[in-house]
Amino acid sequence: MSAVIEPQLDRRVPWFEGDVPAERVPEKYRLSRAYVPKSRYLDPAFLKWELEKMFTRTWLMACRTEELPGVGCFVEYEIGGHSILVVREAKNSIRAYHNACRHRGTRLARGRGRVGSLICPFHGWRWNLDGSIRLVLDREEFVPRSDDDLGLVQVRAEQWGGFVFITMDPHAKPLLEYLDPIPRIFAPFQFENMRYRWHKSVLLPCNWKTALDGFLEAYHVAGTHPQLYRFDKSNTNIASMKELEARAWAPTTVYERHAHYSSVGQKKETSADNSAKDPTNRGTGGVTDERLSVALSVQYIADDMRGLENERSWRAAEALKTADVPEGATAGEYFLQLYRELSLAEGYDWPVITPQQWAEAGTAWNVFPNTILLPNQGSAFGYRARPNGLDPDSCLFEIFSLDQVPVADYDKKRDFQPQFFEDFRDADLGEIFTQDLMNAKEVTVGMHSPSFDGHRLSEEQEMTIYNHHRVADRFLWTD
């Protein structure tokens, strides 16, 4: 168990054992209090260092197990110059290999597919799905080599929550330890019983971390998504000072490696007055009928983002609009009850999530280094960003929507195709995501201005971003 930092008034990120002293970090990359120099985003040498020292030593979310439905199914995971094949080698076993032939190095497979054995496209050497060598044409002509020497080189692969993670570091700690405290806190959300609703990848003209940073805080909601506060969601005019008075607040919490923010409702006078995240506490500004207020906020997310909510929660919200909310219950509580009844009646499990568990789960988590997960009851979002080649100003950004499936379908295989769009404006991502992704280029252009030196971060609402860099330093400046 890692040390858990309790929410506190002073949100400067605490020091953990293993953090590197500032002197060890080259000056131009050095963090200071709530400040991140821009060279960590813009400098090609920094990206090379991330690829060499960090991505090779962390656990990385490579795919979901459902993407490997049958024996022989594989998914290629690329990061930097590395290509790794994640393969279902047996019904209950998934392995990963460096995607390189033992003969002359040829990449063995691309993308995704299903094979009986892995066959090199160049001279046809073959491997069994467990990585052992199966065929070397004219083997007697070669210097005698052990089967071990000719086997595919394994990459560690471990699973959690329906995800397959890989690490290229043979000495990395086990995945569950690395992910701590996420597996414990996410347990009631049952990610393992969720499946993809959709998965879209886009190229963004920004650093891979800039893409993630935009989803690691909710401080931007007032500036970027003003319609979220309004009854009229088509009104995306900049928020008025009056509207800002009722702005939402989302403090961040930092753990040893991972971090999250938590949308807790309206900002209060002092942070001690702010309550924890509570799923019954949601609404739409300016709507006085509490039922309508809750229903509209659920349905806008369901309709616009097509994730985090699902068609059951949408129908529960619809029923709430005209429901007789029992005395003593809030509209938000009654909404959850309707959603629960619908779910159970239609064959879905309804895991009980206690207020304490909701509070700890918060809204969005940075799974260090490059994944974000947003847990919710019945549905979830995930984001992942990877550098695009050696260009620090370009990345591949992915958004995926996950839905819990009925209990009867847990073992059912489903067809699923991820989609790629060069331009996010062609990806039909809805208003909210479009607003977010529009920021990517503007941030990058502005960061390149000689007038800008680095991020000045909120110590309450943006420490998720700072924390990423603190943790990265451990990998970047140690052997």
Closer to ligand FES by CB, 103 or 441: give it: 103
Which residue from 398, 436, 460, 473 is in contact with Fe ion, where contact means CB under 5 A? 436
Look at strands 252-254 and 454-456 and give their pairing: unpaired
Asked if 120 interacts with ligand FES (CB under 6 A), we say yes
The two structure tokens encoding residue 174: 């086990």
Q: Quote the least distance from Cβ 101 to ligand FES, whole Å.
A: 3
Distance (Å, rounded) from C-alpha 58 to C-alpha 168?
8
Residue 268 binding ligand FES, by CB under 6 A: no
Cβ proximity to ligand FES: between 60 and 109 the closer is: 109
Q: Please work out the total of residues on this chain that contact Fe ion, with binding judged by CB under 5 A.
A: 1
What's the min distance (Å) between Cβ of 141 and ligand FES? Answer: 13
Helical packing angle, 331-345 and 290-300, nearest 10°: 50
On whether the CB atoms of residues 175 and 158 are closer than 8 A, the answer is yes
Rounded alpha-carbon distances, angstroms, from residue 309 to 194, 201, 265, 301, 417: 13, 20, 18, 7, 21
| 68, 101, 429, 465: which one binds ligand FES (CB under 6 A) | 101
445 CB-near residues (< 8 Å, 6+ apart)? none
C-beta separation of 220 from 214 below 8 A: yes
Inter-residue contact 364 to 372 (CB < 8 Å):
yes
452 binds, among ligand FES, Fe ion, none (CB under 5 to 8 A by kind): none
- Minimum Å gap between C-beta 192 and ligand FES is 37
| Stretch in the footprint of Fe ion (CB under 5 A) among 36-44, 74-82, 305-313, 429-437 | 429-437
Which is nearest to 182 in space by CA: 251, 253, 258, 263? Answer: 258
Nearer CB in complex with ligand FES: 123/413:
123
Q: Is 104 in the site for ligand FES (CB under 6 A)?
A: yes
* Residue number, 118 or 206, with CB nearest to ligand FES: 118
Q: Which stretch binds ligand FES (CB under 6 A): 73-81, 116-124, 152-160, 238-246?
A: 116-124
Name which of 433 and 475 has its Cβ closer to Fe ion: 433
60 contacts ligand FES (rule: CB under 6 A)? no
Of 383, 288, 262, nearest in space to 11 by CA: 262
| Helix locations, 246-372, DSSP H | 290-300, 311-321, 331-345, 355-361
The listed partner (ligand FES, Fe ion, none) that binds 436, CB under 5 to 8 Å by sort, is: Fe ion
Pattern 122-161, ligand FES, x by CB under 6 A? xxxx------------------------------------
Query: Cis (ω within 30 of 0) for the bond into 181?
Result: yes
The dihedrals phi and psi of 35, each to the nearest 5 degrees, come to: -135, 130
The verdict on 304 binding Fe ion (CB under 5 A) reads no
Interface residues for Fe ion in 159-198 (CB under 5 A)? none
Does 434 contact ligand FES by CB under 6 A? no
Q: By CB under 6 A, is residue 448 in contact with ligand FES?
A: no
Residue 341 has phi, psi (to 5 degrees) of -60, -45
Q: Which partner in ligand FES, Fe ion, none is near 412 (CB below 5 to 8 A by kind)?
A: none
Q: Which two tokens stand for residue 204?
A: 């963004």
Q: Which stretch binds ligand FES (CB under 6 A): 43-51, 72-80, 103-111, 423-431?
A: 103-111
Cα separation, 301 vs 311, whole angstroms: 11
Q: What is the size of the binding site for ligand FES (CB under 6 A)? A: 9
- Verify binding: residue 30, ligand FES, rule CB under 6 A: no
> 17 with 438: CB under 8 angstroms?
no
Asked if 38 contacts 445 with a C-beta cutoff of 8 angstroms, the reply is: no
Which among 15-23, 117-125, 140-148, 206-214 is the span making contact with ligand FES, rule CB under 6 A?
117-125
352/113 Cα distance (integer angstroms) = 38
Interface with ligand FES (CB under 6 A) = 101, 103-104, 106, 120, 122-125
